[in-house]
Amino acid sequence: MASSSFSLSLDSKDLSHSSGEVHVIVGPMFAGKTTALLRRIKSELNAARNVVMLKSSKDTRYATDSVVTHDGIKFPCWALPNLLSFKEKYGHDAYQKLDVIGIDEAQFFEDLYEFCCKAADEDGKTVIVAGLDGDYLRRSFGSVLHIIPLADSVTKLTARCELCGKRAFFTLRKTEHQETELIGGADVYMPVCRLHYMNSQVAERIVLQSQAVKTDSLLEPTADV
């Protein structure tokens, strides 16, 4: 009886192609995501690897040409409206020489998933991504969670609750603005634990409802005396 055999052949191009990686750093505001990203990038630099840092051009809080941590540590970067334009702007030859690509504030890039696929799977780059995993309503923010299935590692950081000092997993917005993308720092956001997130949300709703009632009462026509 003839025996069947299974053979797996690898293209020589695949054998010579360096393997890419995707590493994801997530957490609420003030969890040290950018600090952790810069630590990884500097470690790659110390290993004599060619690196570049990218961030969204929407983030103009501290500097337009640098990634800046909340405590003032800076690292030069490319500020881009989207990621897929980077290769052309950086130059094909220069891109080919890159080993590591860092991406900060990744939640603002709509093409994050496509870029990470191409950079890691096709181009052999190590991509280190830092961003918010949830918005102020604890909903998925941008495409950050979409790249989890692509990731070699995922690091979830926590902050300290601004109200009690316990571990904070969530970001609370301190203003009445309701748009998802609202760039800001401590003037707009604060990290909180689950208890104070829920308590603060309830309190905020009560305040907003009270303001709405007062506004409606002011708009009501008054009877002539």
- The tokens of 59 are what? 């983030």
**Neighbour count for residue 51 (Cβ, 10 Å):** 19
Residue 105 a catalytic site member: yes
Which amino acids are annotated as binding site for substrate, given as ranges?
189
52: nearest Cα among 63, 44, 64: 44
Catalytic choice (105, 114, 122, 179): 105
Phi (first) and psi of residue 175, to 5 degrees: -120, 175
- Cα 25–chain centre separation: 8
Binding-site members are 189
Task: Give the whole-angstrom CA distance, residue 182 versus residue 200.
Answer: 19
Element (H, E) at 121: none
Polymer length in residues for the chain = 225
Rg (the chain; Cα; Å) = 23
225: tokens are 């005396």
- Which has the closest alpha carbon to 194: 158, 142, 221, 218? 158
Q: Which residues are catalytic?
A: 105
